[in-house]
Amino acid sequence: MKYLPALFVLCLFSCNSAGFEADDRQIIAKDLIVKQIPRARSFDIVAFKQDTVSNFSDTTYKKSLHYTLDFVYRDSANTLKSQRGVVIFAPGENTVLSTLIQDR
């Protein structure tokens, strides 16, 4: 009986929910975009959007997850850049299907 509270706390913190998976995908998307920008400084995400894509070009996956991050950063010449990163994930997974960075 005295171990019941400890067991409850252990079970509570060992559960993985869909909210954590969404947070993981957002972090993965940000990390992928930062890695593609050479010598980025002062990287800030100014907008974030998550959508479900039903017409992705890869027919293996239906209803892929589409993450769009609008961000600003300073390049190696200290110029402020404003761009948009798009990362597409397989549904229900953390598998990245596509990554694209474009000007806003």
- Is residue 30 in a domain? no
**Cβ neighbours of residue 82 closer than 8 Å, sequence gap 6 or more:** 70, 71, 72, 103, 104
- Cβ atoms of 48 and 25 within 8 Å: the answer is no
Structure tokens at 51: 């959508």
- What is the model's pLDDT at position 17? 54
Within the chain, residue ranges assigned H as helices are 4-14, 18-36
How far is Cα 40 from Cα 87, in angstroms, rounded to an integer?
18
- Is residue 20 in a domain? no
- Is residue 56 in a domain? yes
How far is Cα 67 from Cα 31, in angstroms, rounded to an integer?
13
Q: Specify which residues 72 forms β-bridges with.
A: 44, 82
- Is residue 11 in a domain? no
- What is the model's pLDDT at position 71? 95
Instruction: Give, for all 104 residues of the chain, the pLDDT tens digit.
Output: 666 666 555 555 555 555 567 788 999 999 999 999 888 888 999 999 999 877 666 556 678 899 999 999 998 888 999 999 999 998 878 889 899 999 98
Domain range for 81: 40-104
- What is the model's pLDDT at position 40? 80
- What is the model's pLDDT at position 19? 59
**What single DSSP character describes residue 102?**
E
- What is the model's pLDDT at position 68? 95
- Is residue 59 in a domain? yes
Tally of domains in the chain: 1
- Is residue 1 in a domain? no
- Cβ atoms of 85 and 71 within 8 Å: the answer is yes
- Is residue 27 in a domain? no
- Is residue 85 in a domain? yes
